[in-house]
Amino acid sequence: MSSQRIGRREWCQGVLAFSGLAATGLSAEQQKPAVMDPRLDELIRRGATMEEVAKLKDPVATNPDEAIRALKIGNARFFGGQAERPEASAAERRAQILGQTPFGVVLSCSDSRVPTEIVFDQGLGDLFITRVAGNVVDRTTLGSIEYAVGHLKTNVVVVMGHEGCGAVKAALLPPEERARETENIQFLLNQIIPSLQKLPAIRDEKAKMREAVIANVRVQVQNLKKGKFIQDAIRSKKIAVIGAFYEITSGAVDFLETEEELRVGSGLERGSRWREHLL
């Protein structure tokens, strides 16, 4: 249907969605028609396709630097208790069926305490999220990321670990304890273990866990960069691939952007870009 010309009924539905009149059960104030996007009016006159209508929603960012900045500003709002929690109206939610234009991809952990859109204070359609315990890069997560970069034109890919990650903690257990887990859990942990082989000797348990999570983020970023498709996208400056660490206790996200911050085995606890967006 999306490749066909839109008929009168579909156009009416589209106009109602954009004008806010399609919702049911709204108050008289809520049902006041909004000003129609002039671009939509032009598309109506010349009989456009659904794909053309979908492109009306502009992305939040149009290049990697803008995308990273949007994430930092959103996290600063969340950290400071000033979250806007962007909420779409009923009409705007309906309009999103026409297409999506997320500005960033985030590969994050499945942990229930890490709600990615909330952490970055983003709304519906802003981020393309792939979640798996331990934020590991495998063929399925990589396929999702490549889809977002190739078809949705996202500008940044973030691999985000978090404080107290249970998957990383389990990967640090002795082999005999890991062997008690199911076959699939063991497979997952095996994707994390290589990143933990050369951890520095750290006595403080919290600091050790932080370093382990960040070491895993670095390795997963490197795994992501091994693919030719991602390499070409980076080389052409279509995307940036960075790492991040979310601190549950504070709400702050630390960003790893430079080559040194992302270098496997660097042991770098704090780079110059960490938390600067919160100052």
pLDDT, tens only, 71-112: 999 999 999 999 998 887 776 777 788 788 899 999 999 999
Across 85-94, 139-148, 207-216, least confident range: 85-94
Where do the DSSP E strands lie in the chain?
Answer: 104-108, 127-131, 156-162, 240-246, 253-256
Residue that the structure tokens 């979310």 belong to: 246
Pairing, β 240-246 against β 156-162 = parallel
Q: Which two tokens stand for residue 208?
A: 């050790």
Phi, psi of 263 (to 5 degrees): -70, 125
Domain 64-278: CATH superfamily, name plus number: Carbonic anhydrase (3.40.1050.10)
Tell me: the pLDDT tens digits for 112-129? 999 999 999 999 999 999
**What is the value of pTM for the model shown?**
0.78
For the segment 184-209, the average pLDDT, to the nearest whole number, is 94
Task: Please tell me the total number of residues recorded for the chain in this structure.
Answer: 279
CA-to-CA distance for 97 and 76, rounded, in angstroms? 30
Provide the 10 A C-beta neighbour count for residue 134. 23
CA-to-CA distance for 33 and 204, rounded, in angstroms? 60
Domain residues of the chain, as ranges?
8-54, 64-278
